[in-house]
Amino acid sequence: MPSLDHLLNALRAAGESTRLRLLALCAEGELTVTELTQILGQSQPRVSRHLKLMCEAGLLERYQERTWVFYRIAQPYTGGRLAGTLVSLLPDDDPTLALDRERLEAVKRKRADRAAAYFRENASRWDEIRALYVSEREVEAALEDLLGPTPIGDLLDIGTGTGRILERLAPRIERGVGLDLSHEMLELARVRLSQPELRHCQVRHGDMYNLPFPSGTFDVVIFHMVLHFADNPAAAMTEAARVLKPGGRLLLVDFAPHDQEFLRDDNAHRRLGFAESEIATWCESAGLSPGDPVRLPSDPLTVLVWPATAPNVESIVHRRSGKGTQ
């Protein structure tokens, strides 16, 4: 619970018209300083000062990606309940806020245009690969079947690409985070996740070998068609296991071993699929219990969906105490 001083500081930070406008805009999604400056029609130094104050007060979250800095409203799980409450109290019919929303839509359209251009340039390459295996809908259905009907708390999608997995699973999760090294892919994902019903999902630039999250953060971690690009798949899986909560689940979607060399030569695939025994060994080395994979055969590529589970608290205590050892 925030202290009285923390609450008073946050209220003082919000008690100014421009800062309330910034709060309302950042509640609509992640925005850069440049975008916020365009919408508000104010100088960048002035907007930056307001943003700094609101971040220090815990009303906004800030993170840097290359030379860009993104801002979004603080989330409830980081202590940002007050920010959401303040936004809910803002009048819908206020003319200044209405004009801000119009300008925000123009900013989103520019983003969408850039993303569409990138997609057009690369669509033929992606379509060529997708034609080699079962439809993505079948893959996603298998993924959902393995997850089961239980609601999911925190989910991490490593190598999120266009954010499709987050979008598909969004109705079932409390919070979704997508991670990717490609800034172009992250721009595509931000466009996909800009809808109001997807505000609990966000994307970050990051490295699968050095995830920017504390240990035990996520209930579910997913690798969807990512590991075949990895130089060290075992290390990536070990790092994913680190951020799983006790009893959390890892799901890995990738190809069975194949002989399509053009994927290595033309599409930067480091590995031409993975054997079931190989994945099982890596899971066990990472401290996970591997399950039986689901096979989705096609010609020439077969997709496998591997489940694995992190030990729960009871089994961790049991193991550390040395009980049950021979």
In 3D space, the residue among 187, 141, 143 whose CA is nearest the CA of residue 162 turns out to be: 187
pLDDT per residue over 120-146, tens digit each? 777 667 767 888 899 999 999 999 999
Residues 53 and 191 in one domain: no
pLDDT band, very low/low/confident/very high, at 84 (cuts 50, 70, 90): confident
Residues 78 and 220 in one domain: no
Overall average pLDDT of the 17-35 stretch: 91
* 8 A C-beta contact, residue 241 and residue 218: no
pLDDT per residue over 140-179, tens digit each? 999 999 999 999 999 999 999 889 999 999 999 999 999 9
* 8 A C-beta contact, residue 132 and residue 260: yes
* 8 A C-beta contact, residue 170 and residue 201: yes
DSSP string, 118-133: HHHHHHHHHHHHHTTS
List all residues 6 or more positions away from 317 whose beta carbon is below 8 Å from its beta carbon: none
Residues 194 and 276 in one domain: yes
Domain region containing 230: 132-320
Rounded Cα–Cα distance for residues 303 and 292 (Å): 13
Could you tell me whether strands 303-309 and 294-296 are parallel, antiparallel, or unpaired per DSSP bridges?
Answer: antiparallel
* 8 A C-beta contact, residue 84 and residue 76: yes
Residue 308 placed within a domain? yes
Question: Quick one: what percent of the chain has pLDDT higher than 90?
Answer: 60
248 or 318, higher pLDDT: 248
Residues 170 and 238 in one domain: yes
* Average pLDDT for the chain: 88
CATH number for the domain harbouring residue 237 = 3.40.50.150
Rounded Cα–Cα distance for residues 126 and 132 (Å): 10
Q: Does residue 317 have a pLDDT over 50? A: no
Distances from the Cα of 159 to the Cα of 3, 171, 302, angstroms: 38, 20, 20
Rounded Cα–Cα distance for residues 14 and 163 (Å): 32
Overall average pLDDT of the 13-24 stretch: 93
pLDDT at 251: 98
pLDDT per residue over 191-217, tens digit each? 899 888 998 999 999 999 999 999 999
Residues 147 and 99 in one domain: no
CATH number for the domain harbouring residue 73 = 1.10.10.10
Q: Does residue 102 have a pLDDT over 80? A: yes
Q: Does residue 254 have a pLDDT over 60? A: yes
pLDDT per residue over 223-240, tens digit each? 999 999 888 899 999 999
DSSP string, 47-69: HHHHHHHHHHTTSEEEEEETTEE
pTM for the full predicted model:
0.76
Long-range contacts of 5-10 (CB under 8 A, 24+ apart): 6/58, 7/82, 9/57, 10/57, 10/58, 10/59, 10/82, 10/83
What tokens appear for 200 in the block? 């609990």
If one counts the domains in the chain, the total is 2
* 8 A C-beta contact, residue 78 and residue 59: no
Q: Does residue 325 have a pLDDT over 70? A: no
Q: Which residues pair with 94 in a beta bridge?
A: none
Residues 16 and 139 in one domain: no
What tokens appear for 185 in the block? 């892919």
Helix (H, G, I), strand (E, B) or coil at 259: coil
Residues 167 and 216 in one domain: yes
pLDDT per residue over 27-80, tens digit each? 888 888 999 999 999 999 999 999 999 999 999 988 876 677 889 888 765 556
Residue 112 placed within a domain? no
> Which of 128-132, 183-187, 192-196, 218-222 holds the top average pLDDT?
218-222
